[in-house]
Chains A and B, each alone.
Chain A
Amino acid sequence: DSGVTQTPKHLITATGQRVTLRCSPRSGDLSVYWYQQSLDQGLQFLIQYYNGEERAKGNILERFSAQQFPDLHSELNLSSLELGDSALYFCASSNWEGRETQYFGPGTRLLVL
């Protein structure tokens, strides 16, 4: 158990809908990272927040957004969902904002029908 929690575990929705994925980092960790894992794209970094502020951006679509709240939990919002958004979405956390070790949550499996 990494100490990172994600909810929900599974999510099934329809195209055009909007969903919110939630992540709670390990106790004491200030950084939260979001990743998407799909069969064709592999594991892709989406976005990082550090202590409530956006720190780095990866291959995140404009239809997707994230935020980190004062209690350090984070939410990833996916809107206007398409079939191709079906994937595993992982959250990871680390102590600081840089290149230190990241600990991953169990993921949310999203299926868009």
Chain B
Amino acid sequence: GEDVEQSLFLSVREGDSSVINCTYTDSSSTYLYWYKQEPGAGLQLLTYIFSNMDMKQDQRLTVLLNKKDKHLSLRIADTQTGDSAIYFCAEATDKLIFGTGTRLQVFP
């Protein structure tokens, strides 16, 4: 089936690291994406990783890909209150399949 799964909620203290996890189903996915959605706004592309990579770092963001387990994670270092949002992972097959989204809440 085409299910991309994420946990629904994550709550972290400001300054800590956040790790958002995602499992996908299609091993033929070539790209995997992380999008951020702030309240009342559209989806903002955060980062993506090509399927032949294990890791990608972009400033405070680190994406880890475990192809064997079809597991993708997004680590946000030094999490700030402005990072509070819903984070979607998506796998690209012949179309983009989105996960259910993880709502990240950052408290002071």
Chain A residues proximal to chain B, CB less than 8 Å: 2, 4, 33, 42-43, 45, 48, 56, 58, 90, 92, 99-107
Contact A106 B92 (CB under 8 A): no
> Can you list 24 residue pairs at the A/B interface with Cβ under 8 Å?
A2-B42, A2-B45, A33-B96, A42-B98, A43-B43, A43-B88, A43-B101, A45-B95, A45-B96, A45-B97, A45-B98, A48-B95, A92-B43, A99-B92, A99-B94, A100-B31, A100-B92, A101-B31, A102-B45, A104-B42, A104-B44, A104-B45, A107-B41, A107-B42
Q: What would 10 more interface pairs be, CB under 8 Å, given A43-B98, A101-B45?
A: A4-B42, A43-B88, A45-B96, A48-B95, A56-B94, A58-B95, A99-B93, A100-B31, A102-B96, A105-B42
Chain B residues proximal to chain A, CB less than 8 Å: 30-31, 33, 35, 41-45, 48, 88, 92-98, 100-101
Contact A42 B100 (CB under 8 A): yes
**Which residue in chain B gives the minimum CB-CB distance to A106?**
B42
Judged by DSSP, the binding face of B is strand
Contact B95 A101 (CB under 8 A): no
**Which residue in chain B gives the minimum CB-CB distance to A47?**
B95
Residues of A within 8 A of B43 (CB): 43, 90, 92, 104
Distance to closest chain A CB from B25 (angstroms): 15
In the assembly, what is the distance between CA of A99 and CA of B31, in Å? 7
Tally of contacts, chain A with chain B, CB under 8 A? 49
Residues of A within 8 A of B101 (CB): 42-43
Residues of A within 8 A of B41 (CB): 106-107
**Which residue in chain A gives the minimum CB-CB distance to B33?**
A101
**Which residue in chain B gives the minimum CB-CB distance to A9?**
B40
Most chain B Cβ neighbours within 10 Å, of A4, A99, A107: A99
